[in-house]
Structures are given as C-alpha cells and as structure tokens.
Amino acid sequence: MGTEELAERLSAIAEELADMALDRLRQASEQVGERGTPDPQLLAEERRLTRARRAVEKAAGLLSPGPDR
C-alpha cells in the first residue's frame, strides 16, 4: 500500500468522523428542544470527534502527494 492510498483511506475516515460529530450535534439540538439543555457528554463527544477528524485530515494531507511534500 502506498502513501497516496493511505491518504485516501484517511480522508474517508475523516468524513466518517465528521458525520458522527454532526450526528452528536443533532442529538444535542433535539435535547435542547425537548428539555432545554443538551447532554454535556454529547457535546464533549462531538468535540473529541472533531479533534480526531482534524488530526486525521492533517495526517492525510501530509501523506498526499503535492509539490511541497
């Protein structure tokens, strides 16, 4: 497996993480409508997922072929 293929796989993982983070935000938003406040654990999980997505995107970028790599 080459670095370009690995970068593509990491990009796909980053998209999955983004979808998961958005799902947590939707759940938190629904909770605000139902009970006035979101579950702090949902918000914390969304932040962790977003940080993980950014890290994976950075790794994918470092492995992607480009003029400055």
What pLDDT does residue 67 have?
Answer: 62
For 1-69, the DSSP string reads --HHHHHHHHHHHHHHHHHHHHHHHHHHHHHHHHHSS--HHHHHHHHHHHHHHHHHHHHHHHHS--TT-
| Domain boundary assignment for the chain | 3-63
19-60: per-residue pLDDT in tens?
999 999 999 999 999 999 999 999 999 999 999 999 999 999
pLDDT category of residue 64 using cuts at 50, 70 and 90:
confident
Global pTM exceeds 0.85:
yes
What pLDDT does residue 5 have?
Answer: 94
